[in-house]
Structure 1
Amino acid sequence: MATHLGLRGKSIATLLLAFLLALVPAVLIGWMAVEEVRRHFATAYAEQYTLLQMQRITAPVSRELALSRRFANSVVTREWLRQPEDPERRARFSAEAEGFRQQFGSNAYFIIDHATRDYYFADQRSDALTPRYRLDAQEPQDAWYFSTMASTSTYNIQVSHDRALERTMLWVNVKVRDSGELLGLAGGALDLEEFLSSVIRTEAPGLTSMIVDPRGVLQAHPDQSRLALGAINNPLDADSQQRIQSSIADAQQREALRQAMQAVIRRPGDIRAIDVEIDGAPRLLTVGYIPELQWLLVTTLDMQTAAIVEGRWLWPLLGTLILVLGILTAAFAFATHRLILAPLQHLTLSARTIASGDYRPRLPTQRHDEIGELSQAFSHMARQVADHTRNLEAQVHERTRELENANAAMAAAHQQLDDSIQYASIIQRAILPDMQLREHLAAHHAVLWKPRDTVGGDFYVFRATPHGYLIGVVDCAGHGVPGAMMTMLARAIIDHAIAQQGADDPAALLNEIDRQSRQLLPEAQLPSSIATNMDIGLAWVETARQRLTYAGAKLDLYASDGHQLEHLKGHKRALGHRRPAHYTNQQLPLHPGWRYYLCSDGFLDQAGGGHGFGFGNRRLEALIRSQAAAPLDAQLAAFKQALNEYQGPHSQRDDITLLIFCTESEVTESVLHRPPSPSQG
């Protein structure tokens, strides 16, 4: 069973739909706003974290650099490098170097004698005055020293693994000069493991820090396998996987990183943030420059992992939103019922009461809104309906009496009309030559006369003389009473023409009838809508001479013995046509065993069959061939049956007349015993 939503349900559904339609863009806008806020905080977080890490890097390295510069520029250090074998200078350097060692971050220092290429290293466990090894310009692992000494800078900082010491350190290399002469290289060191643990290896989720030089070569990274140890001054020494650019596949992103690195180098203290994909994962990358170390600190932030914006407020917010939506829906439903539905229900009950015929119910009209206006209009309508109903009932009674009187008068008039038509039918039948046909032809003829209405425009004629007889069919224009009136006039004209021309010349009769009808009914004095033409077929039969003379106006004569068929066509123009015609006779021998047929066009034009077409000449000729050898009464029955079957549900279109006759010598025994009366349908 189908469920139909009422006004309350439709209102609530509309409200919910409006909420949903408003919620979708609100959620999208809110999501975009949250993402924008999240990105803003993520960018600020990454920049602040990069600045903090830069300070954490700068502080120990700057301290180490300052100590290394003091150590390298010390007079005692320069004097000892001038004469390293001098015991007095050696003792002073050893004492002063020990003081520096204790201040270095890793409690270690190194010094290289440029003249001898001897490498000295001292920590808590070893003495610096014993060379550890001697640098060799042919050794690739010692190339860093020679490139450093060949550069114009006074110091550099590098991460390298000392093969002899088997230690990976962050070295601060400061050139020792005396009066412009290079005496050696000295400085302190920071243990890389401790440095990474305190600076690079952060516990912040989603954050990764790394140190690169201006060429992008990794100097410090949580993954030490990616470090370019010893590739400080010669970028060719660094493998492609030891550059930060190798982690970025997109060329445009690599170019953006290069531009960001150049920008922060030009403006130390600035932090640049860009979006990149590192190893196929989206990251927010920030770059800062440490001018003291000539390094860049690069920080990558995974915003999916880092807790930038707390999500704990989402569920309470969603719950609050649902609660507010429920409260608004309930309030809207209550207001709809109170303000709209209850008055409408009252209005519905009042309408049902009025529909049952009780116009007394009244609605409260004290409200000053649309419902109040509707109630006032409904109450006014109820009063108007009550007034109109009372007036209408009175008018109905009055009109009923008038209709009853008019109906009685119409019934009387209709009865008079029926009586008149029946009387006209009796008069029309009186002009038919049935008695003459029975007296002279007896069973040698058969007639099918079937007016469309009670009276019609078809009739047949017969006139006997000592030498023969005239027989024919007349089809006057019109049906019903007008057609019947035309038959009376036509019968008088035909009788007058026979009296003047005789009965033995059918063509002369047609010409005379045409002349007299034009005189009696001049075309100029008649409206164009009135037709006065007639279709006539007349046959003069001379039994003694065995000859038949025929003349027709749009009616044909058929003759057949069941095998052969003779067809005498009438003139194409009817009597009374606007263009007069001259009619001529056609003669036909009276063959033994032949039957002769005259019919009006009502038979041929009768609609029927599957498509509503007329009966037609071909179907009539085939029917004549099949029935010509049968007795006349059997033929007449066959013609009726064929016409009725073809007509089917279609109505009769025109008056129908069929006249069959034969000579006396051809009448069969069964025909001779047929009742001497015309067959009328």
Structure 2
Amino acid sequence: MGSALGLRGKSVLALFATCVLVLLLAGIAGWQVYESVRSHLGTAFTRNFTLLNRERILAPVTRELALSLRLARSEAIRLWLLDENNPEKKSRALREAESFRADFADKSYFIASNLSSHYYFSDRASPNATMPRYTAQSSDPSDAWFFNTMKFGAPFNINVDPDPKLGLTKIWFNALVLDGERKIGLCGTGLDLSTFVRDFIGTTERGVTPLIVDVNGAIQAHPDSRHIAFNSGTTSAAADKSLFGLLPEAGDAETARAALDAAVRQPGSAEIFEASLHGKKQLIAVAYIPELSWHVLTAVDLAAADVLDTNVLKLMAAAVVILLAVAMMGFVFALNRLVLKPLVKLTQSAREMAAGNYSLALPPASNDEIGELTAAFAAMAGKVRRHTGELEDTVRERTRELVDANREMSVAHKKISDSISYASLIQRAILPDRQLAGALGDNHFVLWRPRDVVGGDFYVYRAVEGGCLLGVVDCAGHGVPGAFMTMLARAAIDQAIDEAGAANPAGILACTDHVMRTMLHTENRQRDIATMMDAGLVYIEYGAQRLTFAGAKIALYWSDGQAVETRKGGRRSLGDRHPGDYTNETLELLPSRTFYLTTDGFLDQAGGDKGFGFGNARFIDMLRRHANLPLSQQGEAFASTLAAYQGSHAQRDDITMLCFRFGSSP
């Protein structure tokens, strides 16, 4: 290559120089503009947001406080509290209080007597306040707010407190009721804390945390209720419920106290200070509401909050784009001159070779990587020309072999398909469709849907004198193995019916279990295939108007259109590792009841948005909604319900469902 700069060196040098230039210019200009704008807008945003919150809170809260004070000065309230047992005074006082309740935002009021400690409360749910809700006890910590308020004697206080006896958490407006200088009770209203926080404290702005504290720093409202100092209007707040407790860094608490004091001196303005809140350095603004003795604060995390004007961001983005465009134009020019032009000539030669012209003369090789690539192309063209002839002969031979193999596979596939179709015909022949139709007619339907052409599910019917036996069976396996299992299982069940009798479903299951074990299992050899099967059998006794059910992991459902009842089968399948315990259960055969037996293929079928199984709860709801329909319409409804739920999901298992209903004379 000599001393000439290679292709890789040229590309890296041009790209590195362009990136360094762009990053240097954009970084210096963008950082200075961003820091200046963010600092200025962040301070203005924090101050304006705080003053806006102050005005939003002041009007509704002041209104509730003014109404509470007017209610406390009511002559009717005062006279009643002095003579609480007087019915006339009580009626007049409560009528006046009810008129105030209509004006309160929360549509509630309370009246507490300092003479009897009775507490009356009225709201939308319980507008009748004729009887006290409870009697305050000085020994009860939950009543401390009442006795502390009466003790301090301030004309009013605003207290955030949960009342466990009412089951409410509110911002309470407690106004003192006086008889001269004598304190005879409290009255007022409350604002639901969660609603207040949502309407006046909640915000969707990222990185913004609004809160309210009292003159002592106790937190009255916070987006996270765990920080609220409940009952701080009458008692001292804990350190972790105070603004100063949220400022762990040294000096932050003193800075916050100074800002709160300054806000008290200038209630119409907002004081700004910086502190670490919730582990992050934040800009905090505080404004004072003298009417409520509250401070409204807003903490803004400038790193997370959206405080920049989008127009400024657009200007900055436009400047960066222009700088990048200029830099990229320079890079493209250099790349085209130094790299792309030689590559274009080599590409044209490569296209000719791809078209089969291997004798084409390549452009002269230069003293760099492109020159090495040109020489490699020339060597490759010679090898491709030699190997092309050999490859064409090989492809023709392989194609002939594939055609012969495909023809043989088609013949084998047709034989297998014909065999499986014939097996399906045989399997269908053992199903008692004709017997069921002749015996039960429109009083039954069967939904039988194997997963493959043949399957492992089948259903049984045996008519005997005075009754009949119905049932469904789910053999292990699918397809051809499952179909063979159904033949063995059908033979075992027929033998078990003859031995145990059709009127004994539990005996039939136990006998079938024994016969299957004898057929498929020896004591000295482990079973090589799954031979278990689930079954549910029902014997119908016409004269007694009752049925007897026994099941092996298959349940019996019935419904009258109002409710769905279930009888579960035994916990073990037939042919399980250990023999199961199967018992008969007897039920009345009422004309209003429709009975259902189903294998687990229906319940386990995947579907819906997440591919979950159909499930027992959805199955029971489907039965309840359609139980009163004619059985033919029920079959259509169940099939369409399953298809709608299944959607595009593949069928997971064989599905069999047997439904029957008997009138007063089966």
Q: TM-score w.r.t. structure 2 length?
A: 0.48
Larger Rg: 1
Q: TM-score w.r.t. structure 1 length?
A: 0.47
